[in-house]
């Protein structure tokens, strides 16, 4: 299904004052892939994301979503295909109640009321937030806001999900719930984040961006083992891949242990110090 | 600051009241908006010195409060918060208009005092009607009704967003204020200059947020029209509600009922 791909070709973008934000980025993300975009503050992640749904137009280069190149004419189609979850849910939940907010996209697509109501119910159910439907967004907790923000995108039934820092401001339990939720999606997922442990759980491929350029585009585990690359890009290996502060041993990541050869393969049971 | 905060956050109470299910909250929001509008126009357009003629109008707020079972003390508190505005509009009238207008048991009451009382009465009537409207319809319902009644879309959108982001703005302002308080000592760091940059900061943050919100709206296909799933319908109940109250207001406005009643009693006594 070629309409789930995202391809960026030699993308350039500079801010109005001339500061370059993105300088020649190219990648191609296939259907169903889950890709992390990581990089230091100001590396150009957010600017890149804003190109993926056509909010910014490339100054040079192209962005392809599905079968068509992004342009003024294909914009509505692209925005329907790419669901964007913003960093601050308060920016995304602008309607008076959760129900109105989740219905906002489908109503703008011109769907019939019954269909919209079905979609709202389904999207809220998907993120386990049916009980919040009639609440105003300002009365929700951080985790609830995040779940509803995702529902407000799901209701448009996008094929590609783009997320900017989905775990900021969440407590550990809410963060874990979010990761489980995202892991259950079959969409093509593009996640920009500093939460490298989340990347380890969710993304098989990682693109490292530094100063507007791609430093590396490889399988996640390979990237996290490249200490030199991480340091150059102002990053750090996920905590779980770092040695334990108490006994200095390392645990293998929960998924794909076979891709990962540690010197203590004998360690099977949960890590404990007694 | 804490006071302002709690007063503002209390707006949520009105919404909570509106979400309760009763005969009044089930009524189409348009009917309630139109009736309240009629009420306000009738009250405001009464003569400058009218006091007694305004009294029958209290029937409207009291009936609604009874039907919707609204907490009277809460509404009175809200009225008190807004009262100073009306008070200062009218408080100088007694000085500017000392000519006696009314003889009461030998006491001369000046036009200024009469018009002051009239202003306070009108304030109480109109503001309580507005509060009751929101407490039975919800702010969103009122906005929706305004749009359906033909108010400019941009205006309705502004109202909706004002309501949604008021809390976020207060939050942001409170954080700025807190950060400032924690780092100012002995009255230093509290001057107008600091306040200026604080407000500037708030404006910039707000502009940034507005841009991000707009972005989020565009991402979900916003084209200038706000659509909502609520279904509205005007039925018999709505027509009766608007018609009944409209006729009542017209009656109150055309005849000074207390005066008529007084004259009647006087004639009977004689």
pLDDT in tens, chain B (270 residues): 445 555 555 667 777 888 888 888 888 899 999 999 999 999 998 888 888 888 899 999 999 999 888 888 888 988 888 888 888 888 888 888 778 777 777 777 888 888 899 999 999 999 999 999 988 888 888 988 998 888 898 898 888 888 888 878 888 888 888 888 877 777 777 778 888 888 888 899 889 888 889 888 888 888 888 788 777 788 888 899 999 999 999 998 888 888 888 888 888 887
pLDDT in tens, B185-197: 777 777 788 888 8
Q: Is the pTM for the entire model greater than 0.80?
A: no
Is B8 in the A-facing interface, judged by CB distances under 8 Å? no
> Which chain A residue is nearest to residue B167, measuring alpha carbons?
A138
> Which chain A residue is nearest to residue B170, measuring alpha carbons?
A138
Tell if the CB–CB gap between B168 and A153 is shorter than 8 Å: no
pLDDT of residue B19: 81
Size (chain B), residues = 270
Which chain B residues contact residue A107 at CB under 8 A? 227-229
pLDDT of residue A268: 44
Side-chain-side CA neighbours of B40 within 13 Å: the count stands at: 15
pLDDT in tens, A163-176: 999 998 889 998 99
Tell if the CB–CB gap between B221 and A109 is shorter than 8 Å: yes
pLDDT in tens, A66-125: 888 888 888 888 888 899 998 888 888 888 889 989 999 898 888 898 999 999 999 999
Range in A131-140, A220-229, B59-68, B222-231 the model is least confident about: B222-231
Interface predicted TM-score of the whole assembly (ipTM), two decimals:
0.74
Is B21 in the A-facing interface, judged by CB distances under 8 Å? no
The predicted model gives A11-21 an average pLDDT of 88
Rounded Cα distance, A252 and A233, in Å: 23
pLDDT of residue B269: 83
Give A123-127 contacts, CB < 8 A, sequence gap 24+: A123/A151, A123/A152, A123/A154, A123/A155, A124/A98, A124/A99, A124/A148, A124/A151, A126/A151, A126/A154, A127/A151, A127/A154, A127/A181
Structure confidence at residue A251 as a pLDDT band (50, 70, 90) = low
Rounded Cα distance, B114 and A46, in Å: 64
Closest residue by Cα to residue A92 from A211, B119, B156, A84: A84
pLDDT of residue B78: 86
Rounded Cα distance, A140 and A101, in Å: 13
pLDDT of residue A262: 46
Instruction: Closest CB to B221: pick one of A92, A105, A138.
Output: A105
Tell if the CB–CB gap between A94 and B219 is shorter than 8 Å: no
The conformational region for residue A32 under phi > 0 = left, psi -120 to 50 = alpha, else beta, is: left
Query: B48 or A21: which carries more pLDDT confidence?
Result: A21
């Amino acid at each position: 299904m070629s309409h789930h791909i995202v391809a960026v070709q030699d993308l350039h973008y500079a801010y109005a004052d001339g500061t370059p934000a993105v300088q020649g980025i190219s990648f191609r993300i296939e259907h169903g892939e889950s890709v992390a975009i990581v990089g230091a503050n100001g590396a150009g992640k957010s600017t890149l994301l804003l190109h993926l749904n056509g909010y910014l137009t490339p100054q040079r280069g192209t962005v392809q979503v599905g079968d068509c190149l992004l342009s003024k004419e294909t914009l509505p189609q692209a925005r329907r295909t790419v669901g964007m979850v913003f960093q601050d849910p308060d920016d995304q939940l602008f309607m008076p109640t959760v129900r109105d907010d989740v219905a906002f996209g489908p109503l703008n697509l011109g769907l019939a009321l019954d269909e919209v109501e079905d979609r709202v119910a389904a999207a809220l159910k998907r993120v386990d937030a049916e009980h919040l439907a009639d609440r105003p967004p300002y009365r929700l907790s951080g985790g609830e806001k995040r779940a509803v923000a995702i529902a407000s995108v799901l209701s448009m039934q996008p094929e590609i999900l783009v997320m900017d820092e989905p775990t900021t401001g969440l407590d550990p339990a809410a963060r874990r719930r979010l990761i489980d939720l995202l892991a259950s999606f079959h969409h093509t997922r593009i996640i920009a984040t500093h939460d490298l442990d989340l990347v380890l759980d969710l993304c098989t491929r990682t693109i490292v961006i530094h100063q507007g350029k791609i430093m590396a585009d490889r399988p996640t585990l390979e990237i996290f083992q490249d200490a030199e690359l991480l340091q150059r890009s102002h990053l750090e290996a996920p905590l779980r891949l770092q040695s334990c502060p108490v006994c200095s041993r390392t645990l293998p990541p929960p998924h794909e242990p076979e891709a990962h050869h540690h010197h203590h393969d004998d360690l099977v049971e949960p890590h404990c110090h007694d | 600051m804490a006071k302002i905060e709690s007063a503002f956050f209390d707006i949520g109470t009105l919404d909570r009241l509106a979400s309760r299910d009763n005969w009044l909250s089930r009524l189409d929001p348009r009917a309630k908006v139109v009736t309240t509008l009629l009420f306000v126009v009738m009250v405001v357009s009464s003569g400058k010195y009218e006091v007694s003629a305004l009294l029958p109008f209290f029937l409207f707020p009291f009936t609604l409060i009874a039907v919707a079972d609204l907490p009277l003390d809460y509404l009175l508190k809200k009225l008190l918060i807004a009262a100073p505005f009306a008070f200062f509009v009218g408080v100088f009238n007694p000085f500017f208009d000392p000519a006696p207008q009314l003889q009461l048991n030998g006491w001369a009451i000046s036009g200024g005092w009469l018009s002051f009382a009239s202003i306070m009465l009108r304030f109480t009537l109109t503001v309580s009607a507005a509060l009751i409207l929101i407490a039975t319809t919800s702010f969103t319902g009122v906005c929706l009704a305004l749009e359906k009644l033909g108010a400019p879309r941009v205006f309705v959108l502004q109202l909706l967003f004002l309501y949604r982001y008021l809390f976020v703005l207060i939050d942001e302002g409170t954080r700025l204020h807190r950060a400032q308080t924690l780092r100012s000592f002995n009255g230093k760091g509290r001057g107008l200059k600091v306040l200026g940059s604080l407000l500037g900061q708030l404006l910039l943050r707000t502009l940034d947020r507005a841009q991000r919100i707009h972005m989020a709206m565009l991402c979900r296909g916003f084209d200038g029209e706000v659509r909502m799933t609520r279904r509205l319908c005007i039925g018999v109940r709505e027509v009766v509600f608007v018609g009944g109250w409209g006729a009542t207001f017209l009656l109150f406005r055309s005849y000074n009922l207390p005066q008529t009643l007084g004259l009647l009693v006087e004639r009977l006594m004689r």
